[in-house]
Amino acid sequence: MPAAHVITPAPTPQSQLDALIRAGGFWGLAPDWVPRGGYARDRGTLVAALAALRRLAQNEAIRLRRGRAHVH
């Protein structure tokens, strides 16, 4: 019997961001002048920052799907 073909869904912006952060790759994207620590005092601040990054990634994905990518 032939092997079944498994269709893997395309990664979402949020899943890509989660994977990047879990792998520790976020700081590789930030310029060297960005402080690497000492500016988040509590877990709530970190959770809010992560939620904001996820919203930004989601909004950019929506713009890309609609053909209106934000260009700097």
Contact 11, 61 (CB under 8 A): no
* 70 pLDDT higher than 60: no
The pLDDT assigned to 34 comes to: 75
Q: What is the pLDDT of residues 42-63, one digit of tens each?
A: 888 888 888 998 999 888 888 8
- Going by pLDDT thresholds of 50, 70 and 90, the confidence category of residue 68 is low
In sequence order, what are the residues at sequence separation of 6 or more whose Cβ sits closer than 8 angstroms to the Cβ of residue 54?
13, 14, 17
The pLDDT assigned to 71 comes to: 54
Predicted TM-score (pTM) of the model is: 0.39
As a whole number, mean pLDDT of residues 13-21 equals 81
